[in-house]
């Protein structure tokens, strides 16, 4: 995981604010989050995907994130960082 006040110099494809107020950011180099009341960005490893580019982010009622990339749609379980 990368902890930084900045996201690396890369293209940003999508932003999403989850119901818990976490800000999720999809970029060319992966998924990042900024926790509420924090100015630190953390890169989140999404295991098992072929392309780390995250183009869009949504949240299901049960709290899972749905991520899209060039290979399709990914259901991501946030507490365990598993797909």
Q: What is the DSSP string of 11-38?
A: -EEEEEE-TT--EEEEETTEEEEE-TT-
Q: How far is CA 46 from CA 7, 37, 60, 80, in A?
A: 17, 24, 17, 10
Res. 3 pLDDT band, cuts 50 70 90: low
1-13 burial string, b = 16+ CB within 10 Å, else e?
A: eeeeeebeeeeeb
The reported pLDDT for the residue numbered 15 is: 92
pLDDT per position as a tens digit, 8-43: 778 899 999 999 999 999 999 999 999 888 888 889
Q: Are 30 and 54 in contact (CB under 8 A)?
A: yes
Q: Span 48-59, mean pLDDT?
A: 90
Q: What is the pTM of this model?
A: 0.85
């Amino acid at each position: 995981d990368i902890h930084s006040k900045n996201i690396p110099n890369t293209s940003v494809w999508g932003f999403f604010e989850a119901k818990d107020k976490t800000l999720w950011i999809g970029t060319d180099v992966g998924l990042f989050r900024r926790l509420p009341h924090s100015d630190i960005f953390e890169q989140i490893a999404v295991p098992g995907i072929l392309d780390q580019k995250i183009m869009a982010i949504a949240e299901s009622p049960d709290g899972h994130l749905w991520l899209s990339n060039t290979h399709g749609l990914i259901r991501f379980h946030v507490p365990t960082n598993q797909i």
